[in-house]
Structures are given as C-alpha cells and as structure tokens.
Amino acid sequence: MQSKELIFLKPDAIEGKLVGKIIARFEEAGFKIVRMKKNLISKELALLLYPDSKEQLTGMGNKTLTAMSQKGGMEMVTKLFNTTDPFEIGKQLNEWNRKYASSTEVIACILEGEDAANRARALIGKTDPAIADKGTIRGDFSKDSIYMGNMERRACRNLVHASDAERAPVEIGYFEKYFF
C-alpha cells in the first residue's frame, strides 16, 4: 500500500555535500518527493520530534550499551553517562539529539511510496554507521559512529532521520505545522 514518510537530511549530510547522493537513493528506490524544504528545526519542533517516551529512550540507551560493549566497556559508559540504565542514558541522548537537529538547517522531505516508512528505514540502514550494512546510506556515506558520538558527548552523525512506521503520520503533522 502507498504511504507517506518523513525524512530529513541532518547537518552532516549538508556539510558533507551528500544531499544529491542521498536523495538519489530514495528516487532510485521508487519514492516520489511530495514536499522538500531546507529550514531550521525550532526548539519547539525538536521537543516534539524527540519526546521523552520510555520505550524510545530505552531503545536508544540500549544502542549505546551495545556499541560501548564492543569498545570502551561499562566503565566508560558510567564515566560518560553516570549510569548504566538504558532509560537514563536515553534521556541524555535525547538532549544531544534535540541540540544537533536544531543546530543548523536541515532538508526535510515527505516521500511517497510502497510501504514507505519500512522501505525508507531499510535504505538508511542501522542507527550506528559503524555496523550499518554496505549498500545502505549510513553504511556507505557516514564516517561517524555511536562510539565516537558518545566520546564527544554529542549525537551520532548518521546523515538521515526517517520516521518509524507508526510515528510517520505524527511527525509529518509536526513538520507540516512547524517546518514547511
């Protein structure tokens, strides 16, 4: 079934002059661009985009625990976050995300296509570019990693945001109101 998906190209995509290459991946996969605009994400929109939901924050915190277990270990997690609880770690990551997403202008698009959110997320690849598969946007174009982001106490620069399927209509609504 045709559906819509919200993506935005993060500051590192623009800084790295990767906009054309990234958009081409979506077009080549059959997506149609319905809307597209470069603008600043306001503090207000950043709060809506990265809400303090327990499930989402715990999920993000667990990604840190996985990434740091390969490198740095639990000692480093405690040093960086003052806790090893994924939910508490997630709260700090969300602060970094809000700051990064609203630091400089991003390019947001509403895409339309078959099973749009799931297919867009497959194209962008895993959150941590260090383990994202080759052939995915993050795997091919991002040099950053969750580990490097954590060590510098900032969001991982992984080029693209794409809504989870159940959040897509909600995030599209927020961007229609506060961005486009």
Question: Quick one: which segment of 16-24, 59-67, 80-88, 171-179 binds ligand GDP (CB under 6 A)?
Answer: 59-67
Give the interface segment with ligand GDP, choosing from 11-19, 20-28, 154-162, 166-174 (CB under 6 A): 154-162
| N-to-C CA span, the chain | 25
Q: To the nearest whole angstrom, how small is the minimum distance from the Cβ of residue 76 to ligand GDP?
A: 12
CA distances from 9 to 16, 123, 167 (A): 11, 13, 18
Give yes or no for residue 146 binding ligand GDP (CB under 6 A).
yes
**What's the closest the beta carbon of residue 78 comes to ligand GDP, in angstroms?**
15
Question: 3-state class of 101 per DSSP?
Answer: helix
Q: Which residue, judged by CB position, is nearest to ligand GDP in the bound state?
A: 149
Q: Does the footprint of ligand GDP cover residue 136 (CB under 6 A)?
A: no
Q: Which residues are catalytic?
A: 161
- Dihedral angle over CA of 165, 90, 99, 70, nearest 10: -100
Asked if 39 and 105 count as a contact pair (C-beta separation under 8 A), the reply is: yes
Q: Rounded distance, CA 14 to CA 173, Å?
A: 24
- Which residues between 16 and 45 bind ligand GDP (CB under 6 A)? none
In this structure, are residues 72 and 130 in contact, taking their beta carbons and an 8 Å threshold? no
Rule CB under 6 A: is residue 92 a binding residue for ligand GDP? no
Among 142, 149, 171, 172, binds ligand GDP (CB under 6 A): 149
The contacts of residue 154 (CB under 8 Å, 6+ apart) are 96, 99, 100
Tell me how far, at minimum, the Cβ of 8 lies from ligand GDP, in Å.
11
Tell whether residue 168 is a contact of ligand GDP (CB under 6 A): no
Give yes or no for residue 98 binding ligand GDP (CB under 6 A): no
Q: Which of 156, 168, 171, 175 binds ligand GDP (CB under 6 A)?
A: 156
One-letter amino acid of 161: H
CA distance 29 to 60: 28
The binding site for ligand GDP (CB under 6 A) comprises 59-60, 63-64, 67, 93, 96-97, 127, 146, 149-150, 155-156, 158, 161
